[in-house]
């Protein structure tokens, strides 16, 4: 098998096209062993965005979302750190298990849906990207995002439901990507979450980064907790395990923390209260969009399954409120934009909305918790 991923940005479409046809994950892993991504020519993100839009030209234009300024007149001596959280919908699940009864199968074609996902990432230009339900890491996200300057990490579920789908592309899992020009990796931990002292199928990644511009350390974590009604206590136990791991990694909150994830839990659940009341002094960034700063958005996922309409708030960006400020956050799609058939759709590639926040360090790093 030929493993060339292309070396010329002038023929970028050939690079993009090579990621359109999925093969066995093992083949892509072999390919990555042969090719060091750092040795490949970088890709201009504007060129890649243009190529994605060529692929998508027969689809409706992407939705417009605006950033909301949350910290007026707050001086900062460094560029904000943009963090993007997104459950992108595993391709195998979208096509095989999730039963989006109002979404045409044509809208889920990987050749185009992949470009919708990339377009969303390229438009918002995150410094740090946290994804769940990634089942095209080796053939799409790692080879492309590494050439955009990101350092990439992937931790798959041991028993991914994707593996039960015919013609799957391997297990899904969590992935992190950070811009190497802005951050240095100090440490990285892959965490298989436990519940009631038992290892579970759900995972997390926690990485301590050093910001080149400020010299400050912080930890970025991503997770995806157990889904489905009836598993509330299980999610609570997973959340407790993750918090304990993060307490150890951040030395009891001495290192600022950002936790991104699909928690599969509404704000009424115990796991949400555990994060809200943790000794790590965490706040949920998207609460700041509400008039009183105390309420989560009305939804972060909205879909129609055979059992009916599912409209829930499940996705969060938690942050150390003593050490970090949220300077802006990306507004959510309106009900009118989402449309009566809900998500995913020809306009939007996932059943979950992306969350994007800009963070700055508190000017007093020694401020007490």
**305 to 99, 161, 184: CA distances (angstroms):** 6, 18, 42
Beta strands at 81-87 and 67-69: parallel, antiparallel or unpaired: unpaired
Contact between 124 and 361 under an 8 Å Cβ cutoff? The reply is: no
Mean pLDDT of the 224-236 span: 96
With bands split at pLDDT 50, 70 and 90, how would you rate the model's confidence at 31? very low
List pLDDT tens digits, range 149-188: 999 999 999 999 999 999 999 999 999 999 999 999 999 9
Share of the chain above pLDDT 90, in %: 80
Contact between 188 and 207 under an 8 Å Cβ cutoff? The reply is: yes
Q: Report residue 122 as tokens.
A: 């390229």
Q: Report residue 347 as tokens.
A: 């306009």
Positive or negative torsion for Cα 46, 49, 51, 56: negative
* Beta strands across the sheet bearing 315-320: 183-195, 198-211, 217-224, 257-262, 315-320, 282-284
Q: Report residue 216 as tokens.
A: 């400050």
With bands split at pLDDT 50, 70 and 90, how would you rate the model's confidence at 22? very low
Contact between 238 and 225 under an 8 Å Cβ cutoff? The reply is: yes
Any idea which fold 68-364 has?
Deoxyribonuclease I; Chain A (3.60.10)
DSSP readout, 300-345? SEEEEETTEEEEE--EEEEEETTTEEEEEEEPPPPHHHH-TT-SS-
With bands split at pLDDT 50, 70 and 90, how would you rate the model's confidence at 98? confident
With bands split at pLDDT 50, 70 and 90, how would you rate the model's confidence at 9? very low
In the chain, domain spans? 68-364
Residue 268 has pLDDT above 80, yes or no: yes
Contacts of 202 (CB under 8 A, 6+ apart): 157, 192, 193, 223, 224, 225, 226, 238
Share of the chain above pLDDT 70, in %: 87
Burial grade of 29 (CB within 10 A; 0-12, 13-18, 19 or more): middle
Max avg pLDDT among 5-9, 59-63, 84-88, 362-366? 84-88
What pLDDT shows up at residue 15?
64
Other CB atoms within 10 A of residue 149 CB: 15
pTM of the predicted model as reported, rounded to 2 decimal places: 0.91
Q: Greater confidence, 21 or 291?
A: 291
Residue 26 has pLDDT above 70, yes or no: no
- As beta bridge partners, residue 189 has 206
List pLDDT tens digits, range 45-71: 999 999 999 999 999 998 899 999 997
What pLDDT shows up at residue 285?
98
């Amino acid at each position: 098998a030929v493993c060339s991923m292309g070396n010329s940005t002038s023929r970028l479409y050939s690079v993009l096209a090579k990621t359109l046809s999925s093969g066995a994950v093992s083949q892509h892993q072999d390919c990555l062993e042969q090719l060091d991504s750092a040795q490949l020519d970088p890709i201009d993100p504007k060129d890649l965005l243009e190529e994605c839009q060529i692929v998508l030209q027969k689809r409706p234009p992407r939705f417009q979302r605006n950033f909301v300024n949350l910290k007026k007149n707050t001086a900062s001596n460094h560029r904000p750190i943009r963090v993007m959280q997104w459950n992108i919908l595993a391709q195998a699940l979208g096509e095989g298990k999730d039963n989006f009864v109002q979404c045409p199968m044509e809208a889920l074609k990987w050749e185009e849906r992949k470009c919708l996902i990339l377009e969303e990432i390229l438009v918002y230009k995150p410094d740090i990207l946290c994804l769940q339900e990634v089942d095209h890491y080796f053939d799409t996200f790692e080879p492309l995002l590494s050439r955009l300057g990101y350092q990439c990490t992937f931790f798959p579920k041991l028993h991914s439901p994707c593996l039960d789908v015919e013609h799957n592309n391997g297990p899904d899992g969590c992935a992190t990507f950070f811009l190497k020009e802005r951050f240095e990796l100090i440490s990285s931990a892959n965490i298989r979450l436990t519940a009631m002292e038992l290892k579970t199928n759900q995972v997390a990644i926690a990485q301590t980064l050093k910001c080149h511009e400020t010299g400050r350390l912080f930890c970025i974590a991503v997770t995806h907790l157990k889904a489905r009604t009836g598993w509330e206590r299980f999610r609570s136990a997973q959340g407790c395990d993750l918090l304990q791991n993060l307490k150890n990694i951040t030395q009891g909150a001495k290192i600022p923390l950002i936790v991104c994830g699909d928690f599969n839990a509404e704000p009424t659940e115990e796991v949400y209260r555990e994060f809200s009341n943790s000794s790590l002094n965490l706040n949920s960034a998207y609460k700041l969009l509400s008039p009183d700063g105390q309420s989560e958005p009305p939804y972060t996922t909205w879909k129609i399954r055979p059992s009916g309409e599912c409209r829930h708030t499940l996705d969060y960006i938690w942050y150390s409120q003593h050490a970090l400020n949220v300077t802006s956050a990306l507004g959510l799609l309106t009900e009118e934009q989402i449309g009566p058939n809900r998500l995913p759709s020809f306009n939007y590639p996932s059943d979950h909305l992306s969350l994007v926040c800009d963070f700055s360090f508190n000017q007093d790093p020694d401020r007490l918790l």
